[in-house]
Amino acid sequence: MPMLVSYQWLNELVPVGDIAPDELASRLTMAGVTVEKVVPADQGVRGVVVGEVKAIEKHPQADKLWVTTVDVAAADGRPLTIVTGADNLTVGCRVPVAVHGSRLPGGRKIERSKLRGVASEGMLCAWTELIKGEGHDEDEGILILWADAPLGVDVVPLLGLDDHVLELDLTVNYASHCQSMLGVAREVAAVLDRPYQPPRVYVNQEGVKRAVDLVKIEVPDPDLCPAYAARVVTDIRLGPSPDWLRRRLQRAGIRPINNIVDITNYVMVEYGQPLHAFNYDQVADSRVIVRRARPGEKLVTLDGVERELDPEMLCITDPAKVLGLAGVMGGLNSEVTGATRNILLESAYFTGSGIRRTSRALGLRSEASARFEKGLDPNGNVPAVDRAAMLIEEMKAGVVAPGVAEFRVKPFLPVNIRLRPERVNSLLGTRLSAVDMARYLKRLGFETDGVADGRKHFTVTVPTRRPDVSEEVDLVEEVARLYGYDEIATTLPQGAMTSGGQPVLEDWRVSARRVLAGAGLNEILTDSRQTPKAHGASRWPAPLPISPAEAAAIPGGIPIANPMTVEESVLRSSLVPKMLEVMAYNTNRRQTDIGVFEINRVYWAKQWPLTELPVEPLMLCIGAVGRFAPKTWNRPAEEGDFFYLKGLLERLADGLGLRAPRLAPSNLETLHPARQAAIVADLGGESGKNENGGKNAAGAPAVSSDADMTPIGWLGEVHPAVAKAYELPGRPLILELNFERFVTLSEPRTYRALPPFPQVERDLALVVGDDVPAEKVAEAITAAGGKLLRSVRLFDRYAGAPVPVGQVSLAYSLVYQADRTLTDTEVNAAHEKILAALEKKFGAKLRG
Amino acid sequence: MREELKRLKDEALAAIEETATAAGLQDLRVRYLGKKGALTGILRGMGTVPADERPALGQLANEARDAIEARLTDRAAALESTELDARLGAEKVDLTLPGTWLPRGSEHPMSQVTEEVKAIFTNMGFQVVDGPEVETDYYNFEALNIPKDHPARDTQDSFFINPEILLRTQTSPVQIRTMEKMTPRLPVRIITIGRVYRRDESDPTHGSVFHQLEGLVVDRGITMGDLKGTLTLMARSLFGEGVRIRLRPSYFPFTEPSAETDVSCPVCDGAGCRVCKGSGWIELGGSGMVHPRVLTAGGYDPEVVSGFAWGFGIERMTMRKYGIEDLRHLYSNDVRFLRQF
Ligand SMILES: [Zn+2]
């Protein structure tokens, strides 16, 4: 419910007529009262003029149509012939005429036409055709204007449509005091430094029975209702409100109903104070008791719904029953109807938090409850009810009993705040004088005392209508915005030099991103929330730091108590489910060759239910399917397989300068049973290093016992059953690892002087049983090669004739190097030693 | 004999000129300069020449040898070059064929903008820090001057795990966590970038999760002018030298004075265009002077130090940078989208 401000109405409260609505809007916005948009009240109506109906005849061809002759005081003096369907015309009445070329709301253009064979030179307009949504009924007929409306004159100014509505988007702190025409006018006056001219309120004080004789106010729960005022109006006469009032309500977005309701709404818009009218004769014992509901109490509210109340809800009651829900909605039993003779007009200050709780609990929100929630001026209720009384008298809608029956828990006094001019300048970087500051504050209606240049501070008295200003720093902002944020000079922070930087993990993340993008993968970014079923569907494990029983309680991830949709209802414990979804999303769109990665957080509860914050480790996930290199005119296509994925892992480790992680057998349900592995790492310390820095080309670190190895992730081909569930074609690949643990394998890159002596390369082609892991052979070569062997690289693997069935040929390229020129004899000896070791360990034979 | 030498030389030079192959040149070399060659043959007749003529004749013979030798070398070089030209000419390829395919991946546009922003601030001496996305009520609200029942809790409707633990609605909790760690050291100059969550309906410019760039500076004598200056520097690095920063008064519980921060439209320089929807300005997010209660919660004395802070959406900056019209593209993960970056 945005605050809608009529420019014309505003102009009565503060002179702004010389400032165009758009200009006013931008001045206000720059002072903190954001104007979301400015809407012309005429809705684009152009060229509609006053005409007088001179003659009415039946349409020769249509029963329900009339042919009228209308004088619009045209230059040529010729009257217009216009066909209409309305029944409410009489000869001599004056009506709005949309002549040829005129425009109606939404740009609808009116042109000459023929209606059932009769030429019509325009259209006679109903209210609903001239203006949309201003509370008139479709069947009202043509709008009949007053008899002396000047012929040929534009109806827009005549009907008060030459107005603009400023739609405010108020921040929380301005919401209370700018939620009224007077509040906005006061702001405008302060911003423009112009006089603020509120209406003068005068109420008849004559009458036999005074309000205090007619009603007793009792407030046993003043914490929720610190102030309450009521007036009594007798002999009310319900009827329509005058046009000016209806128009203003419409501009404010409120539908006119009848004079009493309209007046309460008008005062709410004008003063920001919600009022409520009760049927006075329904108040038992003439006693109004404002109290919390009792357990089990019920009320049928004005919308006809019976509502069960709870003891946190504030009610307006009499000794016998509940009359209404304070600030939220009245009860049906005390509704003002055509039969009502006397009313009680309530103007209360309810605390915002109490109203919010009630309105939330019942799901009821209204203009009134919204205003209470935002906070009101605790001293604003009496002036508002006085204003309503004055309007009732002016409009002869009833007889106002003199005086106000009132409860006030304590006097609400303005706040005195000590303001140090030096403080203002040091926070803003300005050089304003105390006198300047005081002048700005006075424009807001704040009083100042003890202002003098050279004094360390002065006192500012802030009226109770500004609950948002409660301490010195609030005054700093008030000074700043009236001075103008734009006027504050641009400077840079002084002070000690600091060197910037980022956490090491963030550096790693940047590098990893670069390496993987360099290897041809595209980085993705997925939501951290997913459906609870997603994790189970992926069958991926998550090594949560909680007990199996706790993990079983939250199988899908950490649940969000109030999700918006089930698809976003748990925090994920792995990146894999979303990765599978992203691959499926793309393959569904015929993007069948993809390689993507994500480095992001997952969420692992340390216990369930949570008593402390979960851990949020950074994980790295790779997904690929199809070809990683396309077929081109000079190269064949290359299909991604397990070794492509393993290659990416090795490239990543090498690119980051990490010890190559090792693979170990694993049995994840997500993955192909024979083509998957756990990524394991020795996180303990320095073991697992060989003299090549753990990074020889075969990726084979020196032997370390598998018992030291901790899984930090898994990789493999996706199990066909899982791929099918995600509708993934081909042989998708997936890898996830704990990035934070992965990067602990880092070791500094070290420089080795280039050897001055030539290296010797020898190939070694072996035949071994096909169940011997190639990595073990490489490890054995490294171990047997001794100091002279610098590197081992597998360059060929072959099975099939002439290699016997059950055996495989492995060919390695070995590099020997020493701090001298090696002789053939030395190299041959080393080579022989290696072969002997392999023969002994694996039964390996030199391939003939 | 003189005549004989001259004739031999002329004949040899002419023959070299007419020879088109390396083998032919070799034959000529043997024929004229070889041990049994013509020149040697003539020199053998030197004995019949009177002794006083011999030196002159010897010189003549040497000149003839040198001339033939030089011509043979030149001719050989010319022939080689012609042959090479012919061979290379035969190796012609279609230059319009595509280059050999090499893999090229991409970093997400959000990552690219994040890195750009981090570089700007680390160059200005800011430290990048990190904080949890799942936060306590204390850090997300209480310590940021948003007590229970504060209306601002409505405008940042949150996702809860339980009544005390929620998904952070802003990156500002990192302000408190950082100050707690740093106090009483000065200055504090940090940024943090991360996900925040709000219960907003998703549309082209909003989502219930987005990334925020939060910054905080605390020191003695920090002013609102410094805030303007720092953000101007950022905006100029990011959007171009000509842009300006505009602050509009606003409200955030954790800053006072508070401001909405706009940058002048880099496309139209404030005149109004399609990119800025005619306003001439593009919203970056909120900023302001750190509220005294927030400084106190972080362990600093607001009477001694002051500070400024801001929180901008990375999505919006990314959309601005690349002209992406719908925020949801950033999370679609369509490879056809990702490959454009
Ligand atoms: Zn623009």
What's the confidence (pLDDT) of residue B51? 83
Q: Are strands A594-601 and A570-571 parallel, antiparallel or unpaired?
A: unpaired
What's the confidence (pLDDT) of residue A691? 34
H or E element that contains A738: strand A733-738
Residue A539 C-beta-side C-alpha neighbours within 13 Å: 15
What's the confidence (pLDDT) of residue A750? 85
What is the pLDDT averaged over residues B309-322?
92
CA of B282 to the centre of ligand 1 (A): 8
Tokens at residue A345, please? Answer: 């007009």
Please answer whether residues A626 and A640 qualify as being in contact, where contact means their C-beta atoms are separated by less than 8 angstroms: yes
Please answer whether residues B233 and B124 qualify as being in contact, where contact means their C-beta atoms are separated by less than 8 angstroms: yes
Query: Residue A265: is its pLDDT beyond 90?
Result: yes
- Minimum mean pLDDT among A16-30, A273-287, B54-68, B190-204: which range? B54-68
Q: Which residues on B lie below 8 Å from A495 (Cβ)?
A: 186-187, 219-221
What's the confidence (pLDDT) of residue A138? 58
**Chain segment B164-206, per-residue pLDDT in tens:** 999 999 999 999 999 999 999 999 999 999 999 999 888 887 8
What's the confidence (pLDDT) of residue A747? 85
Closest approach of B173 to chain A, Cα-based (Å): 14
CB contact under 8 A, A495 and B98: no
Closest approach of A558 to chain B, Cα-based (Å): 8
pTM attached to this predicted model = 0.85
DSSP E strands: which ranges in A164-243? 164-168, 216-218, 227-234
User: Which DSSP symbol is given to B330?
Assistant: G
For residue A289, the tally of other CB atoms under 10 A from its CB is 19
- Separation between Cα atoms, residue A188 and residue A9, nearest integer Å: 13
**Chain segment B73-100, per-residue pLDDT in tens:** 999 999 999 989 999 999 999 999 999 9
CB contact under 8 A, B251 and A174: yes
What is the SS3 assignment for B42? helix
Instruction: Classify the C-alpha dihedral A569-A572-A573-A578 as positive or negative.
Output: positive
Please answer whether residues A492 and B275 qualify as being in contact, where contact means their C-beta atoms are separated by less than 8 angstroms: no
CB contact under 8 A, A175 and B151: yes
Residue in A closest to B157 by C-alpha: A562
What is the second-level CATH architecture of the domain B109-338? 2-Layer Sandwich (3.30)
Q: Which of B115, B256, B303 to mutate to test the interface with A (most CBs of A within 10 A)?
A: B256
Closest to A134 measured CA to CA, from A51, A42, A10, A21: A42
Residue at token pair 């003189």: B2
Closest to B306 measured CA to CA, from A494, A485, A441: A494
- Separation between Cα atoms, residue A741 and residue A805, nearest integer Å: 42
Please answer whether residues B46 and B57 qualify as being in contact, where contact means their C-beta atoms are separated by less than 8 angstroms: yes
Interface predicted TM-score (ipTM) over 0.95: no
Q: Please, which contacts does A636-644 make with residues 24 or more away whose CB atoms are closer than 8 Å?
A: A640/A595, A640/A731, A640/A733, A641/A717, A641/A731, A641/A733, A642/A675, A642/A715, A642/A716, A642/A717, A642/A733, A644/A733
Instruction: Classify the C-alpha dihedral A334-A338-A343-A347 as positive or negative.
Output: positive
Break chain B down into helix, strand, coil percent, rounded to 5. 45, 20, 35
**Chain segment A315-363, per-residue pLDDT in tens:** 999 999 999 999 999 999 999 998 999 999 999 999 988 998 899 889 8
Q: What percent of chain B has pLDDT over 90?
A: 64
Q: Where are the domains of chain B?
A: 2-90, 109-338
- Separation between Cα atoms, residue B219 and residue A493, nearest integer Å: 9
CB contact under 8 A, A560 and B160: yes
DSSP string, B96-143: TSPPPP----B--HHHHHHHHHHHHHHHTTPEEE---SEEEHHHHTGG
H or E element that contains A454: none
What is the SS3 assignment for A832? helix
Closest to B317 measured CA to CA, from B242, B194, B218, B235: B235
Banded model confidence at residue B41, pLDDT cuts 50, 70, 90: confident
Q: Which of A29, A560, A580 to mutate to test the interface with B (most CBs of B within 10 A)?
A: A560
Please answer whether residues B308 and B290 qualify as being in contact, where contact means their C-beta atoms are separated by less than 8 angstroms: yes
What is the pLDDT averaged over residues A441-468?
93
- Contact of A511 with chain B, judged by CB distance below 8 Å, is answered with no
What's the confidence (pLDDT) of residue A696? 34
Which residues between 570 and 629 in chain A have a beta carbon less than 8 angstroms from any beta carbon of chain B? 571, 582, 585-586, 589, 591, 594-596, 601, 603, 609-610, 613-614, 616, 628-629
Q: Are strands A275-279 and A405-408 parallel, antiparallel or unpaired?
A: unpaired
Closest to B236 measured CA to CA, from B223, B248, B245, B247: B245
**Mean pLDDT estimate for chain A:** 91
- How would you label A594-617 residue by residue, b for 16+ Cβ within 10 Å and e otherwise? bbbbbbbbbbbbeebebeebbbbb
What's the confidence (pLDDT) of residue B218? 98
Q: Which residues on A lie below 8 Å from B128 (Cβ)?
A: 500-503, 506
Please answer whether residues B48 and B106 qualify as being in contact, where contact means their C-beta atoms are separated by less than 8 angstroms: no
CA of B317 to the centre of ligand 1 (A): 15
Cβ-proximal residues to A18 (8 Å cutoff; 6+ apart), any chain = none
